[in-house]
A and B are shown apart, each in its own frame.
Chain A
């Protein structure tokens, strides 16, 4: 589970890094991989809820910094949505830290959380993408492509997780 959350946070960070590469902000490009490594580290060292709180705060700061260096707001918004999704899931996974539970029940719980927690974030994300498309002069094709790519990557990731877990059984 911690790997899933860490990969989600890394995806969020990468979403910030790609436009920074295009702009040529070297410092920012350095900050994001450091955050990614830190996310992996804290997710493995600390309990779910604590590490997700820290990760969310840091990613929010990175998103604000991204806006300062001139990255299009779409990227930080999607990135923050992913971070909130990971944060919400981590808080639910935290309930597994305090007790031992049957493996099958645990598997079902993880899949349930990853599937259903994603939908509110998706709804808010889509609303904002639409909002940004209206308010900010962004080529429609690019906005749509980016948002679909981000969401598909997460969906694909979840599918991979599900298949992997089924294979383990």
Chain B
């Protein structure tokens, strides 16, 4: 018996019992409609059979950037069964957060043997891993007394990556680089493009590198050295602690942090570095360092499924697993910095030999706009800016390179302002 029928049946039985208690025939008569209706419906429900349907969903893309549209096409066909007498409904259940922008995600109408139908729709998906899980098929009996609902499992996965923007050229100078040629200045003499220094000639040196002017002055062979350009390990760390982020309408600064992480990881991968990712919050979610487009996809997939969480064990940044990062490598830290402890942890990492580029997202401008130009809001904004300046100034003294990023402006602009690199400069 369908669950919905419990209501009229319950009403009918209640009136029936009341009638019997009062020995009043009118109450008994009133109890008859709901009881009869429930009984007929229950009998019809048992007899009702749904058609055997083949339902196929086609998604025009499985990876996309958040906010883009996905076109979904659903084909419904029946292999056997006589279903002409029933109305059927096939609903393609949308994943959470999906917004239907065009078309219909339901087929509704009579369906006969051998018939096929198609419906399509477009949805806009936010960042995340979206699973289109199932179709809900409902069939109704002719007189509307019975219905049967079934779920037909059919899984399609669409991953919406965070939106990335080009960030211009960023120069990084980690203390240690890899042995392979790459884009990062290794602070060692060798083959490269930029002049590094001179040294005495040793057999085996290329004769073209002899500095003839120095030879003329000193009467000994001197060769020019150029700065080696090598691959570097870059690990992007995203602060996913809920307490560190603030809400900006429908989004949070965490969403902006993920976009920044995606943009920076893509940039460092495109110029040829070895890039890894660590999301620090709910769990320590780590993407093993690698190179190339496949690594970029792995990192963007990981960012798509990341979320901010409030775990006591990750309350501060002291639990950042530094053993995952190669010694003296480059770390790109994306964190709003909540208190002095965070500043201390970053200073500690600098002491351990890591080179750190800190991107510090904040939403002070947005918050000030929301509150309005009241004296108290202005004072609060000033205090927040002063507090952040204190943190950042103490970090600058440790040698951290800092991008103080107001999320209302593009990241590339903040990088250009704080790191002094031009968006239009193409080489590292």
Contact = CB atoms under 8 A, between A and B. Distances in A.
Contacts of A153: none
Interface string A46-67: 0001000100110010011001
9 contacts: A56-B11, A88-B145, A91-B147, A92-B140, A101-B106, A102-B108, A105-B109, A108-B109, A116-B142
Contact of A84 (B27, B33, B105): B33
Interface string A74-109: 001100110010011101100110111110011011
Nearest to B15: A64
B18 A113 contact: no
Interface stretch (A2-10, A28-36, A118-126, A141-149): A118-126
B413 interface: no
Contacts of A125: 33
Interface residues of B, number: 41
A124 B89 CA distance: 28
Contacts of A57: 7, 11
Interface residues of A, number: 45
A99 B105 contact: yes
A109 B109 contact: yes
A128 B91 contact: no
Given A84-B8, A92-B147, A95-B89, A128 B29 contact: yes
A84 B34 contact: yes
A124 B37 contact: yes
A99 B91 contact: yes
A92 B145 CA distance: 10
A105 B7 contact: no
Contact of B91 (A76, A98, A102, A132): A98
A84 B140 contact: no
A167 interface: no
A73 B26 contact: yes
B26 A67 contact: yes
Nearest to A103: B104
B143 A117 contact: yes
Given A108-B109, A116-B142, A100 B33 contact: no
Contact of A113 (B37, B92, B105, B144): B144
A96 B87 CA distance: 13
A136 interface: yes
B364 interface: no
